[in-house]
Amino acid sequence: MIKRMEISKSARWTSICCVGVVGFVAATIGPSVMADDEAVPQVVKNTVVFREAGRFAGWPANNGIWIWENEILVGYILGYHEEREGHTIAPGRPQVTHMARSGDGGETWAAESPPFAKEGMEDVNWSKLNQPLDFTVPNFAARFREDRCYFSLDRGHKWQGPYEIPKYGRPGLLARTDYIVEGPQRLTAFISAEKDGGNEGQPLCIRTEDGGQSWNLVGWIGSQPPAGYGYAIMPATVAIDGGGYLSMIRRGGVFDGRRRWWVEPYLSPDAGRSWYLLEGPVLENSGNPATLTRLKDGRLALVYGWRLPPYGIRGRISSDNGQSWSDEFILRDDGSGWDLGYPRTVERPDGKLVTVYYFRDHQRVERYIAATIWQP
């Protein structure tokens, strides 16, 4: 059953902020653990994070999101709009990493150009970390992208790096930002690597215990997908009781002659050394990663894009560490095309969630970055 979220009487949908995401036909194995009225959250409002005529802004899940109290920073890719098949980003024009910052919990946003962004590429002049960082300082942020990582001690205004990540015997890495700080010098990250023959990919868990000076492979997440078209990438991970992790992995490939895209859950009971595929939820979709967020009350919020009509953003809630999930609910369904999604979610001090994604609405052709503020 799909539950539509109700908008509060004091809030309205903004006509220019339609946020959509990749489509999932979500099938949960196992019963829901929540009553219907408890599973359906309330949308507070939709806001524009970045929008500019003639520009394509997309893929927040590729770049990361961070929150300090009510200050939120999110990364995305900025290019130029071009009408074409597939993603409408001009392939022959520069594409750069861009960021946007909110000081009021996602209500308003201002664009920023990070220091590592270059026209057409990121800075790859490697740095070396000669002394350990303290990951528990209040304004810390880490960012992982491809085969490198960056660190900030001032809420992303300045970034140290890039620091190279070992490739662990693979041709290359496909890292996105997904990490858990576990101590002053211990940080565990969940990234992806190319397969043995190249191309994406297989997820893995890596860890530093010396403040970022070195990285060790903890364990591969699942088996390596078959050669040719078939990938497992873009983990979205939370810690669970007993030193374990739950990670939602984006999957795709051709199986039994049918092309599929889906998200599947993996559980590690031993701090990332071994991983086991769970029975559900298995989210059939058209090619979009999920975002998984641990709430302060202990529940999990799973949000994903819907790339089938009606285009939009959907989600589920779990009260038992992902063993079972609520019915699917709709955050919004007013998108005008499939090329949207890649969400990331953070929780504000007041308990409201801010989900950021890229979107196309019925007002303009360009993709832009939007956010939905909602109460779980």
As given in the structure block, the two tokens for residue 82 are 């071009």
* Positions in the chain whose pLDDT score sits under 50: 1-2, 4-37
Which amino acid, one-letter code, is at 213? Q
Q: Is 77 helix (H, G, I), strand (E, B) or coil?
A: strand
Task: Report the phi/psi class of residue 363: left, alpha or beta, with left for phi > 0 and alpha for psi in -120 to 50.
Answer: alpha
pLDDT, position 124:
75
| Pairwise CA distance, residues 44 & 22, whole Å | 22
- Domains in the chain: how many in total? 1
Beta pairing partners, 102: 72
Q: What is the CATH number of the domain that holds 367?
A: 2.120.10.10
Which amino acid, one-letter code, is at 228? G
pLDDT, position 21:
27
| Pairwise CA distance, residues 202 & 222, whole Å | 8
| Pairwise CA distance, residues 333 & 311, whole Å | 5
Which residue has tokens 């868990």? 205
Q: Which domain holds residue 290?
A: 2-375
Are 313 and 259 in contact, with CB atoms under 8 Å apart?
no
Residues 98-152 pLDDT 10s? 999 999 999 999 999 998 877 555 767 889 999 999 999 999 999 999 999 999 9
pLDDT, position 41:
84
Residues 215-234 pLDDT 10s? 999 999 999 998 767 999 99
